[in-house]
């Protein structure tokens, strides 16, 4: 993966996290609403969208893909400090780079965001986000949190 591709994946992952928080949806619901072609379009547009605010881009994505508000709110009931959407986006982009075969990054992005690990990472009342990224990656690969 080139540096530009890393930056684009980081941006798109952070944007998905931002939209999910804003609309109170599971992260997988956001990528499913956009579909593979929508994710590819966000990646294609990422270099230009970097110059715009997350608020503006998220509003455009929400409107274009008709993303409705949900009830998956992991922020307001959180008792602890919530990691930023950028921190979470970075975590996802690292997982994609580590898990995807070359040329299969978009599908891996969709698989990770729609897997069990995404909801686990989004539970900010646990310490899962702060675990070693290798632990998260291998838990994802195994389909369950490792002991």
Domain boundaries of the chain, sorted by first residue = 3-142
Among 75, 15, 18, residue whose Cα is nearest residue 50: 15
65 CA to centre of own chain: 16
User: What's this model's pTM, rounded to 2 decimal places?
Assistant: 0.95
Going by pLDDT thresholds of 50, 70 and 90, the confidence category of residue 127 is: confident
Residue predicted with more confidence, 101 or 126: 101
Residue 127, token pair as written in the block: 């310490």
Q: What is the DSSP letter of 84?
A: P
Q: CA 37, CA 55: separation in Å to the nearest integer?
A: 22
Q: CA 107, CA 126: separation in Å to the nearest integer?
A: 28
At residue 145, the 3 state secondary structure works out as coil
Q: What integer pLDDT is reported at residue 116 of this predicted model?
A: 96
Q: CA 21, CA 75: separation in Å to the nearest integer?
A: 8
Quick: pLDDT tens for 58-92: 999 999 999 999 999 989 888 888 999 999 999 99
Residue 92, token pair as written in the block: 């996802």
Q: Is 35 left (phi over 0), alpha (psi -120 to 50) or beta?
A: left
């Amino acid at each position: 993966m080139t540096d530009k591709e890393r930056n684009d994946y980081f941006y798109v992952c952070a944007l998905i996290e931002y939209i999910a928080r804003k609309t109170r949806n599971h992260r997988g619901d956001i990528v499913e609403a956009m579909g593979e072609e929508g994710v590819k379009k966000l990646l294609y547009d990422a270099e230009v969208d970097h110059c715009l605010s997350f608020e503006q881009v998220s509003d455009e994505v929400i409107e274009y893909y008709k993303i409705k508000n949900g009830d998956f709110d992991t922020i307001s009931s959180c008792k602890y400090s919530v990691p930023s959407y950028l921190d979470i986006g970075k975590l996802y982009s690292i997982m994609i780079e580590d898990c995807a075969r070359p040329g299969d990054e978009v599908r891996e992005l969709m698989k990770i965001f729609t897997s069990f690990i995404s909801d686990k990472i989004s539970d900010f009342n646990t310490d899962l986000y702060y675990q070693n990224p290798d632990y998260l990656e291998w838990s994802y690969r195994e389909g369950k949190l490792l002991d």
